[in-house]
Amino acid sequence: MAEALRVILLVALAAAALTTAALILAWWMEPVRRLKRTLVKSLGVAPEAEALSPAEGRAAGLDFDGAQIAVLWNRGGRGLVYAFDEIEGGEIIVDGHVVARVRRGEVRKALDVLAPDAEQVTLRLLFADARHPEFELTLWDAALPVQTGSPGEALRLGRRWLSHLEALLKG
């Protein structure tokens, strides 16, 4: 009887340990956490500005002190780090229409459209790189089953990114 109780307790302990390990692994591999961790690894420091699209597995982060920008895709499995002088500009695209733009050597097209009912808000970053000239990051997509935030928040994040890019391009 005591031997059977000991076996049951060992099986229960092993099950609890496996469950705990699985929960820790799920927490560690959670998309937002994984993208943030990869941004830090790519830049060498925590980004001072970041934009994440966990559903797409894409992210972008700015390191002002290191003068670099990192872009990630494939759930953080692939990415590139660019120096600030390789940035050509950026755009905010709402439902397929460019509503704001900042480009090197051009006057900024300010965001004058507020779209509280937008279906999709995308940030497009432009680089002086023949192989990867642009990087798109969806900030809001109403078609996704799980959505956090709102189109207004996505537009504010996109506008903040364009302000950062404009300051970098002028500097």
120 and 95 Cβ atoms separated by less than 8 Å:
yes
For range 82-91, the mean pLDDT: 95
Backbone CA torsion sign across 125, 126, 129, 135: positive
pLDDT of residue 122: 93
pLDDT of residue 147: 61
Rg (CA), the chain: 21
Backbone CA torsion sign across 156, 168, 170, 83: negative
For range 63-89, the mean pLDDT: 94
124 and 76 Cβ atoms separated by less than 8 Å:
no
Please state, in angstroms and rounded to a whole number, the distance separating the CA atoms of residues 60 and 78. Answer: 12
Q: Is pLDDT larger for residue 111 or for residue 31?
A: 31
Q: If pLDDT is split at 50, 70 and 90, which confidence band does 110 have?
A: confident
pLDDT of residue 12: 86
Q: How many other CB atoms are there within 10 angstroms of residue 165's CB atom?
A: 27
pLDDT tens column, 135-145: 999 998 888 76
pLDDT of residue 146: 59
For range 36-45, the mean pLDDT: 94
Taking phi over 0 as left and psi of -120 to 50 as alpha, with beta for the rest, 101 belongs to beta
Report whether pLDDT(167) > 70: yes
